[in-house]
């Protein structure tokens, strides 16, 4: 957790809120440290955020991943 939050003191330090409760810095951490490559990796395999997010969230995250 400390590597994810390294120096972050406000929510703004976590970058863009890509989906409700999921910020760019968290996604980058999951890509780098947990080898997440898809929305399913992030939303269901590395976390359980996908259970609580609205329909279409995975597609939105996959589009964000493709751009970044």
Q: What is the pLDDT of residue 26?
A: 92
Token look-up 């970044």 returns: 68
pLDDT of residue 2: 63
Mean pLDDT by 10 residues, the chain (68 residues): 72 92 93 94 90 93 96
Q: Evaluate whether 61 touches 20 at the Cβ level (below 8 Å).
A: no
pLDDT at 48: 87
Q: pLDDT at position 13, please? A: 87
Q: How far apart are CA 8 and CA 58, in angstroms?
A: 26
Q: How high is the pLDDT of residue 35?
A: 93
């Amino acid at each position: 957790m400390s590597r994810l939050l390294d120096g972050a003191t406000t929510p703004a330090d976590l970058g863009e809120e890509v989906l409700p409760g999921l910020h760019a810095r968290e996604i980058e951490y999951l890509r780098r440290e947990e080898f997440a490559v898809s929305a399913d990796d992030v939303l269901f395999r590395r976390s359980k955020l996908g259970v609580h997010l609205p329909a279409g969230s995975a597609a939105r995250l996959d589009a964000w991943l493709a751009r970044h």
